[in-house]
Chains A and B, each alone.
Chain A
Amino acid sequence: MTEQDHKKIADLLKQTLSPVNPEPSRDLWSAMLRRLEQRPATKSWLAVMFSPASLASVPWFDWALLAALIIGLCIYPKSIPVWLYHF
């Protein structure tokens, strides 16, 4: 990949994505105060842990490892005490 390719992609993106105004359109302190006054959401750790966002953020190889572990335990159920000992 050459510097020229790099520049071409950068130029294309600059033309594609419109520039943004880096200044907020209003003072956000009143919105911040409202947020501070809200009661914190009382979600259980289970709800947080198994929320779609949390599950979606788990890398695919972690799912593969989990699947391999479950399959291994199904094939060799006698290894369960060994795993329990180590954990």
Chain B
Amino acid sequence: MELLEQPAEVLEEFAAGDLNAFESLFRQHQGEVYGWIVRIVRDPVAAEDLTIETFWRIHRGHARFDPRRSFGAWARRIATNVAIDFLKSARLREVPLDQDPPAESHSTRDAANPAIQREVRERAQLAFNQLPAKLRAVATLSLIENVPHHEIGEALNLSTAAVKSRLFRAIRMLRKKLANLDTSHD
């Protein structure tokens, strides 16, 4: 995703607390921030609220912003934290930590059965929702959205190696939870 940049004066005015500069930055970046958040949380309604929350934090933190640095990268880091906080709270609300479906083995011969396929997807969804929020964010961005590791690292303030490590842990947890499923069902 391309980070949009804007004139230094706007950034300096924003850092000084100017509301018009904030509006200008909001209008320029709302789509990008929303797009980033919705790719992590995968819920358009929640993503709109979280976009507002992100810009609220940006507005509150204007004095900490260094106008020489990229506003887009800063906004994305805040958006990522907001999205991960949401995933943490959603996970606590919706998915009991010990909720595991009964282990059943499905062979390749069952793969064509729509009911089995539906069950496979439901279990994959459940396993995915049970991932810790930080791993889930990395897994979503990397496995589903194909965001490059370095870009994920910038958003999460992590090294590329740390992103790969989180991705490895996420895949290992998913594999463990889906161990009895034949994932080559398509």
Contact = CB atoms under 8 A, between A and B. Distances in A.
Given A20-B38, A29-B30, A13 B143 contact: yes
Given A11-B186, A13-B124, A31 B38 contact: no
Contacts, number: 99
A17 B42 contact: yes
| Interface size range on B against A | 35 or more
Interface in A10-58: 10-18, 20-29, 31-32, 35-36, 53, 56-57
B35 A28 contact: no
Contacts of B23: 29
A22 B144 CA distance: 13
Contacts of B35: 22-23
Contacts of A14: 143-144
Chain A contact residues: helix, strand, loop or mixed:
helix
A65 interface: no
A6 interface: yes
| Interface size range on A against B | 20 to 34
A82 interface: no
A20 B44 contact: yes
Nearest to A28: B30
A17 B172 contact: no
Contacts of B171: 1, 5-6, 9
A35 to B, nearest CB: 5
B55 A16 contact: no
A16 B48 contact: no
Nearest to A33: B23
B30 to A, nearest CB: 5
Interface of A: 1, 5-6, 8-18, 20-29, 31-32, 35-36, 53, 56-57
